[in-house]
């Protein structure tokens, strides 16, 4: 059934919008086919496809270390993790497709540089310990976001997030396990772990997005049940959970201003370098060009494969009809 | 167990494991670069299974001589590896990888079917476990060979090129290692000559159905697992780099 | 030009006593390829004993809201022989990772007539969403023991993908509301 996407110029827009918002307030899920504001659809397509792109691009920084994993077990675990990321991208593209956009179009937007993805993946993975730190910090940040999104009002997105949450915890734990091990390991392992924390801490904090005062989309996303917490709220939760554990492991954080505030129970952090964040978002980070180039190449080199399977399927359908 | 049988068994288990380790490594190079998301996921499944198989085989070796699997994988030099040459070849394009995987999966599935009856119980048990996954791999790569062979002129051409390159190398899968005849006599491993018959029959039929021609000149057919291709040294240099960087580390 | 292959909805049956449930979709080129792909994407972890796939284009979907606004015209051509349709239904807004559940089959001469039959036959609970699919458009995984062993059983051994495998449990994991990492929500 073709879905109905309402715009303010529709005669019944206000009435329908009121009922739509009442449904969300009642805790109902909006499903493909239901009326929704075109703006809701637009925001969701943007968020979901960005999220999907992040998973797919996110395969690259850790994927680079599969061929250098130092034990059979770690290799297997890393392959499983990166495979999950592909799977998560896949679930998310599916959720976006229910809103009437084709996967081909989303991929084109990514490869032409129009669509964004989480800028944290524009940093390089320089050592094996980066794999552990990404699992611990980057996936740790992602989990906070995903847990919130699992309650999202749009059915397909909520379902994708619930499935992703169930799988993501393993990512977080295996990363944490690795870093804790190396923090107590050989001198080389300890130095490697600390160095990785030093490089990934700030990019992880930036993952949760600009400060609330610099986030224009938040209000409508909250009203329509897409977001239930603000960026700063999520960031503070993340810091409060991870700082004590990192310190307990005998590691330090690259933030000279970091201090605990007993009156709020919060760990207060130093200023985030938003200039760096916006540069990376704009495409000037250390790995932006390489990441996109890798995806473009995979897409281009895979074209003949995709065509071959289409051709085979068409032949089979013709012979089925002919019989 | 007589010591020469034990030695032969250790060597065979090592060869089995080395094939899985190197093939898994080549396949893992595709992660994040596959032709479509779904196929990235599919090949990653095969990689995990192969690493699991290597772990099983080396676990069996560990029971015999106490060797540590990770030490074997990450600290042996190229001339100590006992993989066949086919698995060392660079991954090539998607057709190359799918064809190699098909030829290998077919061999492995047939070998494991027979190995389930091994007189050496741990090997029989391992074969029983592994064959479940191998059957799925074979279904998957069998389907791919058909689709690439019958798809477009381009996919057929690429698959044909892969076959031309790999056919000779694939014959090495059926060359017994030194001492293997002792294991066959004891009923511990299947006779590769018999496995080869089934493999030739199934593979030539399927490849022809897929619109391919067997190469008139098969090219190089390695007969020993002691000497390798030029690729193995660099492959291991990358694969072992982190482990060797901190050789003192006991746990990773 | 679309090179990402057609979309196929996937239905997974966790155990023999549970219904097939819609878990998401895959892009694949033909039915056999779609089944293999569905297994790779959705059976990475337990549990599964059976999978079905159907092209997204072959699925007829109606939400409760759509039906309240106007029931589809039932085009039931008497000259057509009735066909079998599979019926799936969502009955709860509860947070879940699965969508519609299989409830049964009806015979009808069109998807709209099948919907009418479905509402009459499966009226025990209020349906929030109906999916109607012609039976011949649904492709099923092989039910044999051998397939169960090779397609679905191996995932059980891959414990390294389960969060319980990792000994380090920080207090924050239990603080996560909802993000329990438990395999199936149900």
Is the confidence at residue B55, as pLDDT, over 80? yes
Are B199 and B107 in contact, with CB atoms under 8 Å apart? yes
Give yes or no for a contact between A30 and A151, defined as CB atoms under 8 angstroms apart. Answer: no
Residue C185's pLDDT is 33
Residue pair B151/B98 in contact by the 8 Å Cβ criterion? no
Question: Is ipTM strictly over 0.95?
Answer: yes
In A, which residues are within 8 Å of C154 by CB distance? Answer: none
Confirm or reject contact between A183 and chain C (CB < 8 A). Answer: no
CB contact under 8 Å between C154 and B147, yes or no, is no
* B3-245 homologous superfamily: Ferritin, core subunit, four-helix bundle (1.20.1260.10)
pLDDT value for C168 = 59
Instruction: Give percent of chain C with pLDDT exceeding 90.
Output: 69
**Contact assignment for C178 to A87 by CB distance below 8 Å:** no
Within-domain flag for C183? no
| Angstrom distance (rounded) from CA B161 to CA B32 | 24
Contacting partners of chain C (3+ CB pairs under 8 A)? A, B
> Average pLDDT, stretch A73-77?
97
pLDDT score, position A179: 97
C76-101: average pLDDT? 90
Across C90-100, average pLDDT: 95
Indicate the average pLDDT of chain A: 94
Chains that touch A (3 or more CB pairs under 8 A): B, C
The answer to whether position C180 is within a domain reads: no
pLDDT in tens, A215-269: 887 788 888 988 888 899 999 999 999 999 999 999 999 999 999 999 999 999 9
Handedness of CA A157, A159, A160, A162 (dihedral sign): positive
Confidence of residue C80 (pLDDT cuts 50, 70, 90): confident
Query: CA of A62, closest CA in chain C: separation in Å?
Result: 16
Q: Does any domain span residue C49?
A: yes
Separation between Cα atoms, residue B78 and residue B237, nearest integer Å: 9
Cβ pairs B/C, distance under 8 A? 45
Query: Chain A: residue nearest C98 by CA?
Result: A159
pLDDT tens for each residue of C120-129: 999 999 999 9
pLDDT band at A196 (very low <50, low <70, confident <90, very high): very high
The answer to whether residue A301 neighbours chain B at the CB level (below 8 Å) is yes
Question: Does residue C2 sit within a domain?
Answer: no
Report the percentage of chain A scoring pLDDT > 90.
89
Question: How many residues make up chain C in this entry?
Answer: 186
Rg over alpha carbons for chain A, rounded to the nearest Å, is: 22
Ramachandran category for residue A27: left, alpha or beta (phi over 0 → left; psi -120 to 50 → alpha): left
Contacts of residue A46, Cβ cutoff 8 Å, sequence gap at least 6: none
CA-based torsion, A195, A199, A200, A201: positive or negative: positive
Distance CA B39, CA A87 (A): 10
d(CA C128, CA C87): 13
Domain count, chain C: 1
Q: pLDDT at residue A3 above 80?
A: no
**Count of CB atoms within 10 A of residue A81's CB?**
26
Task: Tell me if chain A has a CB within 8 Å of the CB of C139.
Answer: no
- Max CA distance (Å), chain B: 56
Give the residue from A6, A23, A31 with the most C CB atoms within 10 Å of its CB, the best one to mutate: A31
Average pLDDT score over residue span A269-283: 93
Residue-number span of the structural domain to which C30 is assigned = 7-175
Output the pLDDT for position A226: 85
Residue A169 phi, psi dihedral angles, 5° rounding: -60, -35
**Residue ranges of A 163-182 with Cβ closer than 8 A to chain B:** 178, 181
Paired tokens of B141: 């790569």
CA distance C52 to A10: 40
State yes or no: pLDDT of C181 exceeds 50. Answer: no
- Indicate yes or no: CB of A306 within 8 angstroms of CB of B36: yes
Q: Apex CA C93: angle with CA C91 and CA C97, to 5°?
A: 95
Residue C84 placed within a domain: yes
Beta bridge partners, C13, equal C50
Report which DSSP code applies to B129.
Answer: H
| Residue C185 placed within a domain | no
> Looking at residue C182, what is its pLDDT?
34
Least CB–CB distance from C179: residue in A90, A158, A169: A169
Q: How confident is the model at residue C4 (pLDDT cuts 50, 70, 90)?
A: confident
The helix or strand, by DSSP H or E, that contains position B12, with its residue range, turns out to be helix B3-28
45-74 in A: which are within 8 Å (CB) of C? Answer: 73
Q: Any idea which of A77-91, A92-106, B124-138, C167-181 has the lowest mean pLDDT?
A: C167-181
The pLDDT of C52-59, averaged and rounded, is 97
Residue positions counted in chain B: 252
List pLDDT tens digits, range A18-46: 999 999 999 999 999 999 999 999 999 99
| Distance to chain C for A290, nearest Cα, Å | 23
- Best B136, B152, B155 member to test C by mutation, with max C CBs in 10 Å, is B136
pLDDT for the residue A204: 96
Query: Is the Cβ of C39 closer than 8 Å to some Cβ of chain B?
Result: yes
Q: Does the pLDDT value for residue B44 go beyond 70?
A: yes
Percentage, residues of chain A above pLDDT 70: 98
Chain A 81-100, residues with CB within 8 Å of chain B CB atoms: 82-83, 86-87, 89-90, 93
DSSP state of C152: I
Given this model, what pLDDT does residue A305 score? 97
Residues A215-227 as b or e (16 or more Cβ within 10 Å = b) = eeebeebeebbbb
Give the C-alpha separation, A318 to B166, whole Å.
33
Q: For residue C183, is pLDDT > 70?
A: no
* Rounded Cα distance, B213 and B207, in Å: 7
Chain centroid to CA B94: how far? 17
Q: C12 has which bridge partners?
A: C21, C51
Mean pLDDT of A157-179: 95
Q: Please enumerate in sequence order all residues whose Cβ is within 8 A of that of A159, keeping only pairs 6 or more positions apart, or say none.
A: A95, C24, C96, C97, C98, C99
C2 CB within 8 Å of a chain A CB: yes
For residue C89, the 8-state DSSP code is E
Residue C28 belongs to some domain of the structure: yes
How many CB atoms sit inside 10 A of residue A213's CB? 10
DSSP A71: S
| Nearest CB to C28; choose among B38, B139, B140 | B38
Residue B218 is predicted with a pLDDT of 86
Alpha helices in chain A (DSSP H): 13-25, 38-57, 59-63, 72-97, 103-111, 128-133, 139-149, 155-183, 187-207, 218-223, 231-248, 274-279, 288-301, 303-322
The pLDDT, as a whole number, for residue A219 is 80
pLDDT at res. C3? 76
> Closest by alpha carbon to B41, among C40, C32, A57?
C40
Cα of A237 vs its chain's centroid, Å: 17
B205 touches chain C (CB under 8 A): no
The angle that helices A303-322 and B153-170 make with each other, rounded to 10 degrees, is 110
Residue among B28, B32, B252 whose CB faces A70 most closely: B252
What is the pTM (predicted TM-score) of this model? Answer: 0.94
User: Distance (Å) from the C-alpha of residue A275 to the closest C-alpha of chain C?
Assistant: 31
Contact C175 A241 (CB under 8 A): yes
């Amino acid at each position: 059934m073709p879905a109905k996407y309402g715009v303010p110029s529709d005669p019944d827009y206000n009435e329908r919008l009121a009922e739509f918002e009442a449904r969300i307030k009642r805790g109902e899920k909006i499903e493909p086919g239901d009326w929704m504001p075109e703006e809701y659809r637009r925001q969701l397509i943007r968020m979901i496809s960005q999220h999907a792109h992040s998973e797919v691009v996110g395969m690259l920084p850790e994927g680079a270390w599969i061929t250098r994993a130092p034990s059979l077990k770690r290799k297997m675990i890393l392959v499983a993790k990166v495979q999950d990321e592909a799977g998560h991208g896949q679930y998310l593209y599916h959720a976006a497709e229910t809103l009437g956009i084709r996967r081909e179009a989303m991929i084109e937007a990514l490869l032409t540089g129009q669509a964004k993805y989480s800028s944290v993946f524009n940093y390089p993975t320089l050592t094996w310990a980066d794999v552990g730190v990404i699992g611990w910090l980057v996936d740790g940040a992602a989990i906070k976001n995903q847990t919130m999104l699992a309650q999202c009002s749009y059915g397909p997105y909520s379902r994708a997030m619930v499935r992703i949450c169930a799988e993501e915890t393993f990512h977080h734990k295996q990363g944490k396990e690795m870093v804790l091990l190396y923090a107590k390991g050989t001198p080389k392992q300890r130095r490697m772990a600390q160095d990785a924390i030093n490089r990934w801490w700030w990019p992880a904090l930036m993952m949760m997005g600009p400060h609330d005062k610099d986030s224009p989309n938040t209000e409508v996303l909250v009203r329509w049940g897409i977001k239930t917490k603000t960026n700063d709220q999520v960031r503070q939760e993340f810091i409060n959970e991870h700082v004590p554990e990192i310190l307990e492991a005998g590691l330090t954080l690259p933030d000279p201003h970091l201090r605990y505030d007993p009156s709020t129970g919060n760990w207060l952090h130093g200023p985030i370098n938003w200039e760096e964040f916006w540069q990376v978002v704009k495409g000037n980070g250390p790995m932006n060009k390489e990441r996109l180039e890798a995806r473009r190449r995979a897409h281009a080199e895979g074209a003949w494969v995709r065509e071959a399977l289409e051709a085979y399927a068409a032949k089979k359908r013709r012979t089925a009809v002919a019989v | 167990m007589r010591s020469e049988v034990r030695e032969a068994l250790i060597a065979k288990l090592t060869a089995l494991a080395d094939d899985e380790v190197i093939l898994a490594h080549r396949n893992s190079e595709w992660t994040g670069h596959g032709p479509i998301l779904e196929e990235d996921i599919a090949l990653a499944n095969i990689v995990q299974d192969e690493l699991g198989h290597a772990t099983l085989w080396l676990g069996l070796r560990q029971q015999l001589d106490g060797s540590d699997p990770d030490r074997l994988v990450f600290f042996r030099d190229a001339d100590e590896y006992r993989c066949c040459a086919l698995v060392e070849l660079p991954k090539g394009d998607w057709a190359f990888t799918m064809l190699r995987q098909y030829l290998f999966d077919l061999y492995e599935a047939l070998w494991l079917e027979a190995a389930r009856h091994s007189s050496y119980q741990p090997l029989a048990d391992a074969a029983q476990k592994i064959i479940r996954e191998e059957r799925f791999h074979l279904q998957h790569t069998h389907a791919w060979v058909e689709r690439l062979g019958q798809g477009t002129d381009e996919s057929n051409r690429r698959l044909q090129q892969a076959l031309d390159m790999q056919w000779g190398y694939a014959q090495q899968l059926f060359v017994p290692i030194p001492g293997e005849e002792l294991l066959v006599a004891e009923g511990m491993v299947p006779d590769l000559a018999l496995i080869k018959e089934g493999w030739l029959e199934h593979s030539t039929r399927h490849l022809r159905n897929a619109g391919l021609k067997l190469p008139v000149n098969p090219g190089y057919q390695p007969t020993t697992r002691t000497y390798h291709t030029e690729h193995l040294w660099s492959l291991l240099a990358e694969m072992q780099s982190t482990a060797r960087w901190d050789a003192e580390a006991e746990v990773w | 030009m679309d090179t990402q292959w057609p979309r196929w909805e996937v239905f997974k049956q966790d155990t023999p006593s549970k219904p097939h449930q819609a878990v998401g979709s895959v892009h694949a080129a033909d039915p056999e390829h779609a089944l293999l792909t569905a297994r790779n994407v959705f059976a990475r972890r337990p549990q599964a004993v059976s999978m079905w796939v159907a092209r997204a284009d072959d699925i007829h979907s109606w939400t409760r809201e759509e039906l309240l606004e106007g029931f589809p015209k039932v085009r039931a051509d008497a000259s057509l022989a009735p066909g079998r349709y599979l019926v799936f239904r969502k009955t709860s807004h509860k947070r879940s990772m699965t969508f519609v559940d299989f409830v049964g089959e009806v015979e009808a001469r069109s998807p709209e007539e099948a919907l009418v039959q479905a509402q009459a036959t499966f009226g025990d609970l209020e349906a929030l969403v109906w999916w109607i699919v012609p039976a011949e458009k649904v492709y099923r995984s092989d039910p044999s023991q051998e397939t169960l062993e090779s397609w679905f059983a191996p995932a059980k051994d891959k414990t390294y993908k389960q969060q319980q495998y990792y000994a380090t449990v920080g207090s924050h994991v239990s603080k996560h509301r909802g993000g329990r990492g438990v395999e199936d929500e149900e």
